[in-house]
Amino acid sequence: MANTRRLFGTDGIRGRANSDPMTAETALRLGQAAGLMFTRGAYRHRVVIGKDTRLSGYMLEPALTAGFIGAGMDVTLVGPMPTPAVAMLTRSLRADLGVMLSASHNPYEDNGIKLFGPDGFKLSDQTEGEIEALMASDMSARLAQPAALGRAARLEDAHGRYVEAAKATFPRGLRLDGLRIVVDCANGAAYRVAPEILWELGATVIKVGVTPDGFNINQGCGSTVPDFLCSQVVEHRADLGVALDGDADRMLLSDERGELIDGDQILALIARSWGRAGRLRGDGIVATVMSNLGLERCIAGLGMQFHRTKVGDRYVAELMRERGINVGGEQSGHMILSDFATTGDGLVAALQVLAVIVEQARPASEVCRVFTPLPQRLRNVRFAGISPLRHTRVHAARGAAERLLGGSGRLLIRESGTEPVVRVMAEGEDETLVQRVVDDLCETIAEIAQMREDAA
């Protein structure tokens, strides 16, 4: 079967709700195709479906359910739950497949479909390509006969299962008593479970972003708007702030002074802590091409290897499995701790940081500043139609920028896998030079994008 991936990007299928490809029809056919692919053997097959709080989830969830039922699969619905909870439940329920309906950090107008295999890991590019090819074929003859149709039911204790699983990752004997923690749930999937977990472990919890209405997910809050978290920490005189994204598979922190702690610092902290405790497996950690050179140097200074992948937590997870590594993540806040989860889990990662703060009895501003980052600048340029990266002027500008940075810096230009933007990142010893390089490149890319849009 041909391996073609037009629908699938770096994190499942994503797009504007009720527009191609994020339609009920696509969801129905995806359910049919994935159901047929993962129906192997004579036993009753099961798929777990979770979602975040977007209005369009009410459209896509029943369409997916119908598709899987038509393929002969039983459907277990868990409602609004974090992505890592769906991955965990897929494994613990011995399901054949897991599905999360979420566009992560994107606004409510978008939605997405992420798929997990029976092991709780995201599907490979090859498997997604095979599903997509099957969706484009005539599946009618392979769908279930009337007597073999699946059934759908809700799992009433899904919430409690994840709460207990997350609490179990916090070191036995430690408590969060006396700590004031702001948790920003982005009006998303973790709006109930995240505050509950922190409160049950003893913290005084100031919860924000916990009133979803179908439209306000990630709106002015969450890990993509960290300034809001930082201001809330200062306002409430908290010891720490935790900002999750819409599906809670990533998070960023704020220290007690209202200063942001990004994913690179969190990775360094966990790597150092676990390394000293003898818990680190493999020869080091896995990060992506976006991570700061300061992190790379820090990890080398700890005597560990630093492995980079392309952007996307699925690629981080794949390399971790390949090399037997149990700590990896992204600067944006995806933290994969494979001792506890198969995918990024923002809350579990936050608990690991909190454990170090409790053990050391020092403020977050001291505990979480593990290395000094090199000056780094990231800008996004939105485009329509053909990517401007293929234009000769952009190639020339890129070459000039790389020569300016020389051997003391790094330049990365890439298209996002989840939205029509070009991301330009540079870092180096000279902050002024880094800023100039990024601004000049973005100006060139924006000019090409506008020129092509005008010509269209």
262-367: CATH, from 3.40.50.1820, 3.30.200.20, 3.40.50.12780, 3.40.120.10: 3.40.120.10
- In 3-state terms, what secondary structure has residue 156? coil
Q: Which fold has domain 175-260?
A: Alpha-D-Glucose-1,6-Bisphosphate; Chain A, domain 3 (3.40.120)
Integer CA distances (angstroms), 387 to 312, 380, 416, in order:
20, 13, 11
Residues 6+ apart with CB under 8 A from 287: 264, 267, 295, 296, 306, 307, 308, 309, 316, 328, 329, 330, 331
Q: Which fold has domain 8-158?
A: Alpha-D-Glucose-1,6-Bisphosphate; Chain A, domain 3 (3.40.120)
- Torsion angle of the four alpha carbons 427, 433, 437, 439, in this order, in degrees rounded to the nearest 10: 100
| pLDDT at residue 283, rounded to an integer | 87
Q: Which two tokens stand for residue 170?
A: 């916090």
Q: Are the C-beta atoms of 175 and 201 separated by less than 8 Å?
A: yes
Catalytic residue among 104, 223, 291, 338: 104
With a cut of 70, list the residues of the chain below it in pLDDT. 1-5, 456
- Name the CATH architecture for the domain at 376-455: 2-Layer Sandwich (3.30)
| pLDDT at residue 4, rounded to an integer | 58
Would you kindly state where each structural domain of the chain is located, as residue ranges?
A: 8-158, 175-260, 262-367, 376-455
Q: Are the C-beta atoms of 64 and 77 separated by less than 8 Å?
A: no
Whether 104 is a known active-site residue: answer yes
Q: Which of 244, 265, 321 is nearest to 52 (CA)?
A: 244
Q: Which two tokens stand for residue 28?
A: 């129905």
Residue 113's DSSP bridge partners are 13, 101
